[in-house]
A and B are shown apart, each in its own frame.
Chain A
Amino acid sequence: MAEDIVDVLIIGAGASGAAMAWSLADTRMRIVCLEQGDWTNPSDYPTNAANWESQAFGPYHINPNQRGLDTDYPINNDDSSVNVVNFNVVGGSTILYAAHFPRLHPADFKVKSIDGVADDWPIDYSTLEPYFNQNDRMMGVSGLAGDPMYPPKQPPLPPLPMGLVGEAVAKGFNALGWHWWPSDSAIISQPYEGRDKCLNLGPCISGCAQGGKSSTDITYWPEAIRRGVELRTRSRVREITVNDQGFADGVIYYNADGEECFQRAEVVVMACNGVGTPRILLNSTSPQFPNGLANNSGMVGKNLMFHPVGFVQGVFEERLDSHKGPQGCCILSKEFYESDPRRGFVRGYNMQVTRGSGPLNTAMAGFANGTIPWGAGHHAAFANRFDHVASIGIIGEDLPEAHNTVTLDPQLTDAQGIPAPKITYRYSDNSLAMMAHGLARGEEAMRAAGAIEVTSAGPLRETGWHLLGTARMGNDPKSSVVNHWGRSHDVKNLFIADGSIFVTGGGVNPTSTIQACALYIADTMKKNLANLFD
């Protein structure tokens, strides 16, 4: 019987794995993707029921430790200031993300040159620009051309409605003379590619029942599968194996029945995010790679970056219909995005205006902070806040530091006995100074907008969405894991296409840039098929 061998094996079916699979399908190679989770059914998402708010704390909870599905792996956050949040299904965390879709700025790729910190990327904005555009078309991105804070770009769909929330905060930004612009959002504002437009349900981060949000299970994957890519769900990879020549030759994984399987492959692509990818690499030890696969530099799992996140909330006298519309996508301000060391920190942050909560979260938040009591005073206090709030998320750039790591936990394992990741992470002084500045500026904006009550908090713990930097890209094999097109320095047929390869993180939600990198890597692989391993 002939040995079953695939040309390209992709591990992970989230944001980057989907883009990679779709792009490589051009080659007509045999491509298989292994995904530890299942397909999700939009009919099961919480917004199909009246109790969508409480359901969001069940099987669609953003924290895998709370969710506890057998397709998840536990994460030890005990030594971290941030809890990792993710989703292990087809579509990955795009199922639960807010779909705020800004790109990194050109200067984000040149941090060392500009500020003398961290490192420059070996590629730049212009390298990724065609892939940003391609990704916007594939995902379905809504936005408004002309933002002076970016090089010219044309989102394929008009912007999402700002609503009363956006108008209110925009007036505050205008009063201060600050930049703002409608957000680029991976949510379709008009019917697009067979999908109907966003219905403004609100709680995007528990899954979009309607399909207006562009998660990769409904964008890239259907197209990739039609083009011949095989997607195997409930297939959890334990380790990548190598042959005597030091090439990856396959993976050991557990199938849906928990049986150990081996899949041979000519090329392996990691697309498991900035925690999942180092976890598998570190668990893939061999005589050639005793410290983990592709880890001769010792950089696998190091330089973990999140984005410190804080929130400023303003309560307005007038009703803003806050619970209506995509919660995380409205307008943004880049007034303090580009670096200015005179502020007391380097790099900068994005101000992401978000809409309000539903009634349960409003009432419970009010109970927690003492603004909405139970008892006779409840209704009046609730009425003053529900649908009367706007928020500004402060999302700052987090610089890479070698002591912020993903390692293998010596005790904790997943359902198959694979070691769980252990996160070691502390905010830097730079990040904390940036956050303090951002919260103060956010409060200033809210007051300028006319908020009658302003509160702020940050950095917040349950915000570890953006998992970056743990297998970084670079030209020097001594200080980086992959080269300028995502190929491992040590293992010539191993590629990494997720947020692990980020050299620095910018100060915006990274999914757009992660996917642009994946498309760029796939395209570069296609251009170099004849000498892929040279």
Chain B
Amino acid sequence: MADLLGTDHPLSIAQRAQLDALLDTLLPASTDGRLPSAAAVDFPQYLNTQAPDLLTSIAVILGHLGDDFAELTDPEQIQRVNHFSQSVPDLFKTLLTHVYDCYYQNGQVRHAIGMVQGAVFPEGNEVLSGDLSLLDPVIDNQHRHQYRKV
């Protein structure tokens, strides 16, 4: 794991475990193994490089979940996160946005959902031309599909 949250915002080992548990609760790995857990896509590195504004809030977020969060059962963790999302909805939405943003940049994830790796430019995408013979009914009925002449 990357140097967690940089030197200005160090987390304890317990807090690191809390963060991993939170990420795994928000986005667990898929049952078929194609999609990793959000805890496995280097969220700390993302925070350092792409979301430094959220760094200062991580300890606050973990504080809402409680020191024992990492030791809870899955249903208990879900219950805690639900409570957090309802009591501080704006902060939860900000967190979730960043977790998704990080997650859906991951190469394994993008491959699994059918996207190009990394930036969409310059590789771009192939798009089917489409069947223009579908226009035949419009052309056949163009007496009905007429602009208004003035």
A residues near B (Cβ < 8 Å) are: 45, 47-54, 105-107, 109-110, 113-114, 124, 144, 146, 148-151, 159, 161-164, 166-167, 170-171, 174, 177, 179-182, 199-203, 209-210, 319, 321, 323-325, 334-335, 338-339, 358-360, 363-364, 367, 374-376, 378-379, 382-383, 386-387
Contacts and interface: CB of A to CB of B under 8 A. Distances in A.
B1 interface: no
Interface string B115-133: 1001111111111111110
A359 B106 CA distance: 11
Contacts of A359: 100, 104, 110, 113, 115
A496 B30 CA distance: 58
Contacts of A113: 150
Contacts, number: 162
B125 A325 contact: yes
A334 B147 CA distance: 9
A124 B121 contact: no
B128 A163 contact: yes
B115 A47 contact: no
Contact of A146 (B30, B129, B139): B139
Contact of B25 (A45, A50, A375, A382): A375
B60 interface: no
Interface of B: 25-28, 30, 35, 50, 78, 81, 93, 96-97, 100-101, 104-105, 110, 113-115, 118-132, 134-135, 137-139, 141-142, 145-150
A47 B138 contact: no
**Secondary structure dominating the interface of B:** loop
A48 B123 CA distance: 10
B96 A200 contact: no
For B50, B115, B118, B150, which residue has the most chain A Cβ atoms within 10 angstroms?
Answer: B150
Given A164-B128, A167-B130, A363-B100, A201 B120 contact: yes
B113 A179 contact: no
Closest 3 CB pairs of A and B: A162-B130, A199-B124, A148-B142
10 contacts: A113-B150, A174-B137, A202-B120, A202-B125, A210-B121, A324-B125, A359-B115, A360-B101, A364-B97, A379-B30
Nearest to A355: B127
Contact of B119 (A48, A378, A387): A48
B147 A170 contact: no
Nearest to B99: A374
A335 B138 CA distance: 11
A51 B114 contact: no
A46 to B, nearest CB: 9
Nearest to A160: B127
A258 to B, nearest CB: 29
Contacts of A200: 124-127
A511 B71 CA distance: 59
A149 B119 contact: no
Contact of B148 (A177, A180, A338, A376): A338
Which of B110, B132, B135, B147 has the most CB atoms of chain A within a 10 A radius of its CB?
B147
Contacts of A50: 105, 118-119
A334 to B, nearest CB: 8
Given A51-B105, A338-B148, A163 B127 contact: yes
Contacts of A148: 138-139, 142, 145-147
B144 to A, nearest CB: 8
A231 B51 CA distance: 37
Contacts of B26: 374-375, 378
Contact of B104 (A109, A163, A360): A360
A37 B142 CA distance: 46
Contact of B128 (A162, A177, A335): A162
Given A48-B119, A106-B147, A367-B96, A144 B127 contact: no
A63 B115 CA distance: 28
